[in-house]
Structure 1
Amino acid sequence: MPQMRVTEGSITSRVMANLQRNVARSGRIQEQLSSGKQISRPSDSPTGTLSSMQLRGEARVNEQYSRNADDGLGWLGTIDDTLTSSLSRLNRARELGIMSQSGINSSESREALAIEVENIRDSLIGLANTTYLGRPVFGGTTTGPAAYDSAGVYLGDGNQVLRTVGGNAQVPVAETGPNVFGTGPNQVFAVLTNMAANLRSNNTTALGANMDQLDVSSNLIKTTLSDVGARYNRVSQANDTAKDRLVSLKGQISDIEDIDLPKTIMDMQLQSTAYQSALAATAKVIQPSLLDYLR
């Protein structure tokens, strides 16, 4: 059987190639330790890179859902506070109507009651023009700064302000003024204007009708408050769902991309030990020759 001749040059080449591979492995581990990531480029793990990209895309979607929900909660919370204040003012107007039916006959007293009713009306118009981030919450999608003018005329539109808070889940986060404050002669501002005039003229029959209209307006606002509360809960739950999903996605991304620090440190120590052992073995296998000295 013929003998294969192994030259010093071939031994040296193989040993150096093995040492270079060892150094390359050490370099990769050092890169992982410094970055904290086990995937720094797609070639590190093509399947892991694809999974990571898909998870990151889903995470961005849920982040947007959460932002939309936070914005929707701001709208709905503003409307809730405004309607609660509006109810208290309507209750005060009703109290004034009851007072006028309790034997107050002097013109001065009726004038004082009428002035307070007008102030309540102006205050309600101010509440109806409540804004959130510069937009009137009762103006639909209007780009104007107010939902009503000083005379109580509606300036907005009938469109809904929607926020997407989940997959195929859009929630109205605003209200249109007519749905809350009424329209025509039953509009709460018109009722209060008429009530003030009836107080001045001491028209008790008309005042009784005004009281009934105020009750209708109060019930309308209460119904809207209940609906707003239900939507607030829905958006809040959607927000919690999006945030919980986001936490889960970040955990999955971390499992794919991030290193196991204790394991990586141990691998680095083992690789360093292996490299030092390889160097020691190489020094014994490749002894210096006379030619090395002559160089």
Structure 2
Amino acid sequence: MRVTNGSITARVLANLQRNVARSGKIQEQLSSGKQIARPSDSPTGTLTALQLRGEMRVTQQYSRNADDGMSWLSVLDDTLSGSLSQINRARDLAIQSQSGAATPLSREAMAVEVDNIRESLIGAANTTYLGRPVFGGTTTGGVAYDSAGVYQGDDGAVLRTVGSNAQVRVAEDGRDVFGPDGSNIFAVLADISDGLRNNDVTKLHAGMDNLSAAGDLIKSTLSDVGARYNRVSQMHDTAEDRLVTLKSQLSDVEDIDLPQTIMEMQLQQTAYQAALAATAKVIQPSLIDYLR
């Protein structure tokens, strides 16, 4: 094969162009911090990155659901704790009314306080989170109980998905907490108030027994809410830990090794300079250069 200055020049320029292209790719990686700029850079790496990003989005949603669930359960916990203290106060008033020092005037004052406790408990039963009653099931209404203490919600369950095949109930049916209509805590307090005004010992004793049962029901619900809160909190921590792992794996696939890439860039620049020097020796001056 005949070798001419033209063929030499073409080959040299093609080699130099390849060196420049490799330098440009490394510069692009350094400027972006990513080793995959387009799918053709690494088809398998691109597929892995897409799968990791999809799993990250799902895990982030689990974490957000857990945050929301913990907020619901915290509202339930605070409300139930406050309700329990008010029930204990009503029981104390009923017991106090049976002492020999109680008078019709003092019993009337106790009855008024019991009425206030009843109204306060109805207000607690209508506690809302983000505009939704936490004791009303899935109702879209603004209250779980009306002013007479009658349940206005439904029996639906508000659930939050906090993991793969893991759902947790974050709201309560008020009838499971305060008792069924007609014999709930509000009706019990109304009977105690009536017993205080009429000094009806039988009704007061029955009311105190019912208050004890209502308090036990709220304690049981409070314990269940605490257990669910702990579970949601653990699932939230698990999701956050998984996110850290996924981000690390995604970084291994997508991100460059900065020290190694800088070293490769320096080596490429050295190789390019050497190629230029070699080219200057290979392409010697032609006859035209001597005739100038």
TM bin, normalised by shorter chain, reads: over 0.9
Q: Which runs of no fewer than 5 residues in structure 1 stay unpaired?
A: none
Which whole-Å CA distance do the structure 2 matches of 1:262 and 1:105 have between them?
Answer: 86
Structure 2 residue 36 is the aligned partner of structure 1 residue 5: no
Q: Deviations over 1:70-125 (max 9, x none)?
A: 10000111101100000000000000011001124422111100000000001101
* Identity rate, percent: 72
Q: Which amino acid aligns with 2:30?
A: L
- The separation in 1 between residues aligned to 2:265 and 2:175, in whole angstroms, is 71
Distance in 2 between the 1:20 and 1:184 partners? 85
C-alpha offsets along residues 144-166 of structure 1, whole Å, 9 cap, x if unaligned?
Answer: 11111111111110000000011
- Which residue in 2 is equivalent to 1:82? 79
Which amino acid is the alignment partner of residue 25 of structure 1?
R
Cα offsets for 1:45-93 (capped at 9, x unmatched): 0000000100110111000000001100001111011000000000000
Whole-angstrom CA distance in 1 between matches of 2:289 and 2:264: 36
Paired position in structure 2 for 1:109: 106
Which residue, out of 177, 180, 184, partners 1:180?
177
Distance 1:87 1:280, change over 3 A: same
Corresponding residue of 1:150? 147
Deviation per CA, 1:151-182: give whole Å up to 9, x if none: 11111100000000111111111101000000
- Counterpart of 1:26 in structure 2 is 23
CA distance in 1 between counterparts of 2:76 and 2:284 reads 87
Unaligned residue ranges in structure 2 (runs of 5+): none
CA contact (8 A) 1:105 1:202 kept: no
Normalising by the residue count of structure 1, what TM-score does the alignment of the two structures yield?
A: 0.97
What residue number does 1:232 align with?
229
Counterpart pick for 2:60 among 60, 63, 68: 63
From the superposition, tell whether residues 284 and 240 of structure 1 become closer, same or farther in structure 2 (CA, over 3 Å). same
Q: Which segments of structure 1 move beyond 4 Å, counting only runs of 4 or more? A: 292-295
SS across alignment from 2:147: coil
* Aligned position for 1:98: 95
Task: Return the alpha-carbon distance in structure 1 between the equivalents of residues 144 and 274 of structure 2.
Answer: 81
Q: TM-score, normalised by structure 2?
A: 0.98
Aligned partners of 1:184 and 1:282: how far apart in 2?
A: 96
**1:205 offset after TM fit, Å?**
1.3
1:186 CA displacement = 2.4
Partners of 2:19 and 2:239 in 1: CA distance: 45
Cα pair 2:159 2:168 within 8 Å, conserved? yes
For the residue of structure 2 that corresponds to 1:186, the secondary structure is coil
Name the residue aligned to 2:272. 275
| Structure 2 equivalent of residue 245 of structure 1 | 242
SS in structure 1 opposite 2:160?
Answer: strand
